[in-house]
Chain A
């Protein structure tokens, strides 16, 4: 009982002391932040005329502050933040300051850590601060066991080497999460040098997530030249791959896309079928009218609506198919057709 009450009091006192210390720490951080903003401004506007050997002048207070580990970490955080939002000379100067103060060694220490979150932080800092000399070490981690370390290493390599950095896709045996794919696509969007031959290879990868990612790149960069290599993915055994194939074809379709889609239609899942109908609507070829008209009789109402929407997109020919449909006056077709027509005029 006495132990319990003692513990209770101790935790309460600990919480209160913690709050006081936290406030004190926040005040200190704000002071440091103000101090650092001066140093960062000096670095951003420093004119080094392209030299990597130049030294950015710093105040005595800043140099003295570097003795404190908290100050050094705050400086790294501010440099990383600044580097992410700046380009050109200003960004290069921040890298220069990072190297000048030997902060790269601190990030390297983190990279060497055995704790995953510290290692991942190190990778992130080194990549943003363009420490290319460590690329081999980071590259090895693109297939690391820990997911977050792996993700940070993959992002780092792409940040440092753009599309070339994606060569880890040739070797990884772990899945790339959809979240990571979105991150990589965003990084790649800012970089030139997309190589369609490489993407074509990944379209036949044994790793489904690599294949899906390649399909997303085809769509994102409108790689029409890969149309014929994308089509075989419609026969992939896994529905997510097939779904992404159809979505990607939506961005690169030609007049020949309809036939393979119609051929595989009956073997697809309902969401895949719905996406095919949507794509056929986009293609808008009158040749698909008869096929779409058949789908109006499907048992699944969602597919009826999908087919009606596709026919409406076809124009007058498609509208005629709807009007000629024998059950067009009956429920649910009357409501479905009406919705499809209203959507078109909206």
Chain B
């Protein structure tokens, strides 16, 4: 046996092992997701959320909404957030040094006045220029912070410093949050005994093409264009299957930056959001978990499958590419910062399961796929490919991927059934069939570019211009 054949065999068997473990993990995720969603739905059918809505015992929640150059939509967005049903609530909008008229629009619309306010420095941040509150008692829940630009993580940290409640809910200001979202998010913090719930995530859904009126989602529609539709399917898969499954075994590493609730005391103890990464949402959850593990405090990170938050997905390849590039860099940076936990038994599930899974199957999957593709091309050019075997394997892997997506659609239909028209379901199935040929390769390529950009030390956030719900509504009316 020569060196080439040894190398070839090693390569082949490693790839086989990798693929088998990956596919098995998908099957396990599907099973765990079914069990967790079933448990949640059964339990939720007994829950009367109005109990919390009217109770003076409801824990305090501060919504933190960073805004940067959101002048076009900020007034509507804040109005929508102010209409959320929750008794013990404050809404903190952080103007992160916007260059547009975002702050002025808020001042005019909500009769804001600069107040004397001592900002604690629990977490170090860039300077705060002023704190504003409304002179109109109707808007007494609103606090607007004007600060020097420092990025999303810095803005959220300022929000944490200013907040006065026990829990913080970090959101993207342009998201549409369901009216009862906080009642549902508060429940895991109150209903869990024996362990401290340090964070809770909510499902984020795609709002492109949905009907939005007065900052509220009134009708769900599946997007007419392919890219948002592919992301709709991707989000259903990720949130309804992936995160629910990880949540079942208390091994969740990521809560979306668009909508997540945190125990403020632990966030501050951990030092708040990290400026040094573009994946600050994932990094915070990993650090909070690490903090609890190192102190041997029993804890949980929970997830709610109800569609509570709706966001606009990128509808152009350019913006989508930037987003995925950033997500990849964020994941690499986060895993790099916490590499001490990898396969470290002191960190239990976190170190022995979550971290290695993310490293092997979230971070490395695009690299393995890309390398595999290059090797396949080379082998094809050199005539080393057994084509019948190749097509059999390709067919299997494509069918598996499509089947997994269709299973996610089935779960959606059996649970929340947001897209209840048969035509919408058929469109989703068609998207699932097309996704491996169009959407997936692009996402893999964006991840490869994320790796390259990280090596070249490019750490920009990447501009994420959006069409905006209001703009789309106007177009639709035109």
Contact = CB atoms under 8 A, between A and B. Distances in A.
Contacts of A11: 403, 406-407, 410
A165 to B, nearest CB: 17
A186 B395 CA distance: 59
B19 to A, nearest CB: 15
A15 B422 CA distance: 9
Contacts of A341: 116
Contacts of A5: 399
Given A8-B399, A11-B403, A117-B45, A181 B57 contact: yes
Interface stretch (A89-97, A133-141, A194-202, A332-340): A332-340
A335 B116 contact: yes
A113 B194 CA distance: 27
Contacts of A8: 399, 402-403, 406
Contacts of A4: 395-396, 399-400, 403
A179 B190 contact: yes
A231 B134 CA distance: 40
Contacts of B420: 19
Contact of A339 (B118, B265, B392): B118
Given A8-B402, A179-B191, A216 B117 contact: no
Interface string B178-200: 00000000010011111000000
Nearest to B56: A220
A237 to B, nearest CB: 16
A302 B120 CA distance: 7
Contacts of B118: 301, 305, 332, 335-336, 338-339
B194 A117 contact: no
A124 interface: yes
Interface residues of A, number: 49
Given A152-B46, A301-B120, A177 B190 contact: yes
A186 B409 CA distance: 39
Interface in A62-84: none
A29 interface: no
B129 interface: no
Nearest to A124: B46
Interface string A150-184: 01100000000000000000000011111111110
Contacts of A180: 191
B319 interface: no
B381 interface: no
A20 to B, nearest CB: 8
Interface string B439-463: 0000000000000000000000000
Given A4-B403, A152-B46, A209-B193, A182 B116 contact: no
A195 to B, nearest CB: 21
A168 to B, nearest CB: 16
A336 B118 CA distance: 5
B410 A14 contact: yes
B55 interface: yes
B107 interface: no
A127 interface: no
B425 interface: yes
A301 B265 CA distance: 15
**A contact face: mostly helix, strand, loop, or mixed:** helix
A116 B46 CA distance: 12
A106 interface: no
Contacts of B43: 117, 148
Nearest to A116: B42
Contacts of A256: none
A325 interface: no
A305 B43 CA distance: 42
Interface in B391-417: 392, 395-396, 399-400, 402-403, 406-407, 409-410, 413-414, 417
Contacts of A15: 406, 409-410, 413, 425, 429
A186 B51 contact: yes
B57 A182 contact: yes
Nearest to B394: A1
A305 B190 CA distance: 28
Interface string A115-143: 01100110010000000000000000000
B364 interface: no
A215 to B, nearest CB: 12
Interface string A201-244: 00000000100000010000000000000000000000000000
B397 to A, nearest CB: 10
Contacts of A271: 265
Nearest to B58: A182
B217 interface: no
B121 interface: yes
A1 B410 contact: no
B125 to A, nearest CB: 14
Contacts of A182: 51-52, 55, 57-58, 190
Contacts of A16: 422, 425-426
Nearest to A118: B42
A174 B187 CA distance: 19
A99 interface: no
A19 B396 contact: no
Nearest to B117: A339
A185 interface: yes
B396 A12 contact: no
A339 B143 CA distance: 15
A68 B59 CA distance: 44
Contacts of B409: 15
Nearest to A4: B399
B413 A178 contact: no
Contact of B57 (A121, A216, A332, A342): A216
Nearest to A180: B191
Contacts of A335: 116, 118
B167 to A, nearest CB: 12
A305 B55 CA distance: 28
A45 interface: no
B115 interface: yes
B425 A19 contact: yes
A342 B116 contact: yes
A15 B415 CA distance: 12
A180 B414 CA distance: 29
Contacts of B192: 177
The 5 closest A-B pairs by CB, nearest first: A4-B399, A179-B191, A179-B190, A178-B190, A117-B42
Given A183-B51, A338-B118, 9 more contacts: A1-B395, A4-B399, A8-B406, A15-B410, A22-B417, A117-B43, A120-B46, A332-B118, A335-B116
Interface of A: 1, 4-5, 7-8, 11-12, 14-16, 18-20, 22, 116-117, 120-121, 124, 147-148, 151-152, 174-183, 185-186, 209, 216, 271, 301-302, 305, 332, 335-336, 338-339, 341-342, 346
24 contacts: A1-B392, A8-B402, A8-B406, A11-B406, A15-B406, A15-B409, A15-B410, A15-B425, A18-B413, A19-B422, A116-B42, A120-B46, A121-B45, A121-B46, A152-B46, A177-B191, A178-B57, A178-B59, A178-B191, A180-B191, A181-B57, A216-B57, A301-B118, A302-B120
